[in-house]
Amino acid sequence: MTTSREIHLAARPRGVPRPTDFSLVEVDVPDPAEGQVLIRNAYISVDPYMRGRMNDGRSYVPPFRLREALTGAAVGRVVASRNERVPEGTWVVHDRGWRELALSDGTGLLPFDPSLGPVSTGLGVLGMPGLTAYVGLLDVGRPSEGETVFVSGAAGAVGSLVGQIAKLKGCRVIGSAGSPEKVEWLRELGFDEAFDYREADVREALGEGIDVYFDNVGGPTLEAALAALRPRGRVVACGAISQYNATELPPGPRNLFLVVTKRLRMEGFIVSDHYDRLPAFVTEVAPWVRDGTVRYRETVVEGIEHAPEAFIGLLAGENVGKMLVKVGPGS
């Protein structure tokens, strides 16, 4: 028996979440029973899609329950095991989320090979955000060499990888982000064009036009991208962070009819439908990360008690790259 701290959903946020919507709770964690393992988390992941689960109502994942720990991606090390398939010392990515210690029956654990890189990358560039970028760009967007790819939220964990993979595949890449510092980083990453969507006229910034739009934000940027897409262009519908805090849904793009006239394809996807692509993703992307061809950034907040602030900051765009909370030992 030991104790662990975890973050509960105390109230369903209305609009922008507030610290009082969360509570820090200390709980007893029993020793693992037969078949179970105990995981000490090193990092927990803070992801935009979690905002949707804080609402009541149907989505592609069920809502979080009140007065229970928030679940989501975390990476940790097995510190006690009564399950021979997951020996002590194994690093695993799992979905038990916002807690220091997690007891697991061994299912749904994805081993992480620490020789690939720091274990934090198991939640970022080599984890679900990385696979999201890879599958969304290559399998849904399907850009050809020489085409122009535009990605919004380009300084985030997903967006920054989308842009770099697109460059490596021979595309011209445009990125948008929400601060001069982020835009500067996109230029360092080799984006051909980068702009601050709060300062620029987005349609103008897209110049001669685009072939693929990887959409992380929705809203007016989507409308501008629809206007800029060339015939047979594609919209990879990955997220709509501009709307996650909305209490009333804003109107959609006025120019959606361009989907007909320009024969556009707009397609949504959920990374968990594409786990079959994990091997190809790791094989192709991990070497790029190791040799520095692909670069990534992390914004790390220390201490599980600060996870709610980290999440609120994420929705306000305060992160560059992957937003993480460090909750225990590990690189």
Asked if residue 186 lies in contact with residue 194, where contact means CB atoms within 8 angstroms, the answer is yes
The SS3 call for residue 230 is strand
| Rounded-to-integer distance, Cα 291 and Cα 25, Å | 41
Least Å from the CB of residue 272 to a copy of itself: 10
Binding segment for a copy of itself (CB under 8 A), chosen from 5-13, 15-23, 78-86, 249-257, is 249-257
| Rounded-to-integer distance, Cα 30 and Cα 27, Å | 10
State the amino acid at position 43 in one-letter form. Answer: Y
| Cβ-based burial of 15 (10 A; exposed 0-12, middle 13-18, buried ≥19) | exposed
Site for a copy of itself (CB under 8 A): how many residues? Answer: 34
What are the DSSP E strand ranges found in 53-138?
A: 74-81, 91-94, 101-104, 110-111
The number of angstroms, rounded, from the C-alpha of 181 to the middle of its chain's C-alpha atoms is 20
User: Which of 36, 55, 245, 255 is close enough to bind a copy of itself by CB under 8 A?
Assistant: 255
Binding segment for a copy of itself (CB under 8 A), chosen from 100-108, 120-128, 267-275, 319-327, is 267-275
User: Which of 108, 263, 287, 293 is close enough to bind a copy of itself by CB under 8 A?
Assistant: 263
Q: Which of residues 203-242 bind a copy of itself (CB under 8 A)?
A: 218, 222, 231, 237-240
Least Å from the CB of residue 247 to a copy of itself: 13
**Residue 292 CB contacts under 8 Å (≥ 6 apart), including other chains:** none
44 part of the interface to a copy of itself, by CB under 8 A: no
Least Å from the CB of residue 232 to a copy of itself: 9
Q: Which of residues 131-150 bind a copy of itself (CB under 8 A)?
A: none
Which stretches of the chain bind a copy of itself, using CB under 8 A? 52, 59-60, 218, 222, 231, 237-240, 243, 249-270, 273
